[in-house]
Homo-oligomer: A and B are copies of this chain.
């Protein structure tokens, strides 16, 4: 049975119990959310050391970090290091998106060593196999794609992006769209290319029931990919994107009917004024399925700093109901990230998640901010660093430019906190 099926029967799995403890909610609440499909606990039954992470309504906003090789940058070791760096920075899930080298070996290794949910995009294998084996993607059979899903399931992958919403009707409309960037989803482009070339319906859509059977067998959480997510703010929130979203809403219902855990992926590049609408339409159409966004990026014109751009979009998206943020690194749109980029990307996404949790007045999140303020009032630097999203960087800063007194080298003796505390309390020391 899947986590969803257990929850519907009122059975408390170890993962549901664990999640209740770390989130500070009752296990009954966990079961209710998972049973209704408003939250997922992605855990392949073969991924033994996955302790359980809840993604969805009523839980803390979660962060995913992508790792993976690409052509010319195919060191598995480096990608393993990136996974560790991401976890150290606080990532709640890791997606293995390698497109070069020993894909299966890397996938299995990450599943072995990582105790959080591990995700993948099975369709990438098609592109890679086409290069490695001299076989063209267009020559794959529909059944080959389904087989890739099964292989990933057997490797212990907890959640998989499946581009099942890209129907023939939608992909044909690409020829007449006024989008600047027709498609920026790698998986979407691969399956879309196959569909256009072979003039065949999307196998992930056509054989969705078979995918559900595999997902149910291993308890894979499906992450319904948005092939038509906008890749530029000028392309956002158009008919193609929303048409696919409607299909995804139908697929969510099918998955839930079979007891399969499912979440929905969202944009992408969206101007700030449209982020709230994007989240609310997605939540409404998918009947509160957990929403997983990439960014979103409210401008395109800051390459090198897309982690900051994504932090802005992600904070707003999460405040309005997004449950799961895929990190974006400073290298996005320019090159494959290195370990430092991964670290920075996770921290930026964690900041967005914290901002949203505080704005949504989660008691534990708001209390942490209170403790931070109190640590500032009392110049308790160790507590400040301990509560910080990253303890190391602020500690380095303080050591680099120290100040001998209680405050810091910014204001030196003219620290407002110190001056006014003394005056307001009547114990005048400075001025």
A-side residues, CB < 8 A to B, are: 70-73, 99-100, 124, 127-128, 130-131, 136-138, 174-175, 180-186, 188-190, 192-194, 196-197, 231-235, 271-273, 298-305, 307-309, 311-312, 315-316, 319, 330-338, 347-348, 351-352, 354-356, 358-361, 366, 368-370, 372-374, 376-377, 384-385, 387-390, 392-394, 396-398, 400-404, 408-417, 419-425, 428, 430-431
Contacts and interface: CB of A to CB of B under 8 A. Distances in A.
B72 A347 contact: no
Nearest to A405: B71
Contacts of A131: 413
Contacts of A417: 181-184, 189, 231
Given A190-B414, A190-B431, A387-B301, A398 B358 contact: no
Contact of A301 (B388, B404, B425, B431): B388
Indicate how many identical chains form the complex. 2
B300 A394 contact: no
B174 A370 contact: no
A335 to B, nearest CB: 4
A153 B409 CA distance: 28
A188 B416 CA distance: 8
A168 to B, nearest CB: 13
Contact of A272 (B138, B235, B319, B414): B319
Contacts of A235: 373
Nearest to A136: B431
A304 B89 CA distance: 14
Nearest to A430: B193
Question: Majority SS of interface residues in chain A?
Answer: helix
Contacts of A396: 304
Nearest to A357: B299
Contacts of A312: 311-312, 315-316, 351-352, 355
Contact of A336 (B388, B404, B410, B424): B410
B99 A412 contact: yes
Contact of A410 (B70, B182, B272, B400): B70
Nearest to A334: B397
Contacts of A387: 301
Given A351-B299, A377-B181, A271 B233 contact: no
A373 B234 contact: yes
A216 to B, nearest CB: 30
Contacts of A366: 233-234
